Amino acid sequence: MQALFDGSEESPEAGLGVVSGKLKLFNNETKAVPHIGWNNAATRTFTDNSLYGLRPHSKYYYVHSYARIVADAKELEGWDLATAKYGEEEFVGAISKGNIFATQFHPEKSGKAGLRVLKAFLTHERLSPLSSMATKIEEQAGFGGLTRRVIACLDVRTNDQGDLVVTKGDQYDVREKAAGGGVRNLGKPVEMAKKYYESGADEVTFLNITSFRNCPVRDVPMLEVLRKTSETVFVPLTIGGGIRDVVDTDGTTVSALEVATMYFKSGADKVSIGSDAVTAAEEYYQRGKTLSGTTAIEQISKAYGNQAVVVSVDPRRVYVSSPDSSSRNMIKTAFPGPNGEEYCWYQCTIKGGREGRDLDVQQLVQAVEAMGAGEILLNCIDKDGTNSGFDLELIQTVKNVIKIPVIASSGAGNPAHFQEVFEKTTTDAALGAGMVNST
């Protein structure tokens, strides 16, 4: 859609000029950018018809930083518009005239609502009457704005028999407690992803927790999982694990960008980078906060946009007796440490939490944001597998120092924990793994 306009702040190159106006960067002083998630596409110029199956009470999946802001509707006279709001800014969600129909949202990732739009376009159902109920809902709802996402996460690995399974960890231990216990097997990845999509998950994340070692890169099992999942799951898919420079079984070096490209071509919308992001952040600070241009984050975001790169962060609490006892970014916690300590900082870890690094979480997220990461997947080792709820202090601490979206993770044990994190923090999304995988 954006290519149809005169141009964009994103690039000096001109657009096609089919529609007047320029695209502008969202105001990132008041809200997270990119704008990622489910928002409206409500028809603006008529209320008694649906434009290509768009419905005022439906939500559609957006992921973008630049938009055609609707400040003066006169500039778009003659066009049928469907608009949404992000913060106080109203922008074009879809636009149509004659044989032109373009959307800012992604219909193929917007679930049943998006499939309805595609069907209407293919069958030339440009305008169709809305029911009186739909019109009433539109009048009552107006612009609902961006919703906060609930994401289902599937931890995937091979079990002892070589089968690819969804498993569940307890502080990163995925084996049954009994002597000789095998890998917990909760089901097949493709089938479970479809189940969560049909149950209403806003996104699905696959976490490849073993990276499928000793396997030709172009034949890693997760590529086929993504292909099969894309046939029945029409919400965004994220893949994490193994997104790094690797040496293939034949000795060929394959860059992180090439690995990410394979995943994108197989159906992934985003890739998640973990331990390598910590190393990249350490080197960033060693260079005096200077970008190298060679990290996986920088290369992938340059090629595909920062919305395609998620950085998975695994911090843990380090309690201290006073804020002066360390140069780290401290918080005063409402949950004292084992010896009554009232202050703590969050140490970044690598290798699934097994190794701590000399870096706090605020430093890490600010570094990867500068490199071009589009989202932070914020885990908490102390909460992992506890089913006791999210670490609200950690989440808000991170939200306060960056402008990109944050996905809260670790600790969800029941639906009330999602309600709590959305009410008590400004997180953009919340992820469940063990909870959703055991229901």
**Sign of the alpha-carbon dihedral angle for 375, 381, 387, 393:** negative
Count other Cβ atoms within 10 Å, centred on residue 387: 14
- State how far the Cα of 235 lies from the Cα of 233, in Å rounded to an integer: 6
Query: Contact at 8 Å (CB) between 342 and 333?
Result: yes
- State how far the Cα of 300 lies from the Cα of 296, in Å rounded to an integer: 6
- State how far the Cα of 38 lies from the Cα of 63, in Å rounded to an integer: 9
State the number of CA atoms in the 13 A half-sphere of 15 facing the CB.
18
Count other Cβ atoms within 10 Å, centred on residue 63: 21
Catalytic residue among 155, 202, 384, 428: 155
314 is catalytic: yes
Catalytic residue among 80, 269, 314, 360: 314
User: How many distinct helices (H) and strands (E) make up the chain?
Assistant: 11, 26
Pairing of strands 375-378, 406-408: parallel
Report the phi/psi class of residue 290: left, alpha or beta, with left for phi > 0 and alpha for psi in -120 to 50: beta
155 is catalytic: yes
- State how far the Cα of 221 lies from the Cα of 217, in Å rounded to an integer: 9
- State how far the Cα of 390 lies from the Cα of 409, in Å rounded to an integer: 7
Q: Which of 358, 365, 367 is nearest to 289 (CA)?
A: 367
- State how far the Cα of 249 lies from the Cα of 253, in Å rounded to an integer: 9
State the number of CA atoms in the 13 A half-sphere of 307 facing the CB.
15
Query: Contact at 8 Å (CB) between 124 and 175?
Result: no
Which residues are part of the catalytic machinery? 155, 314
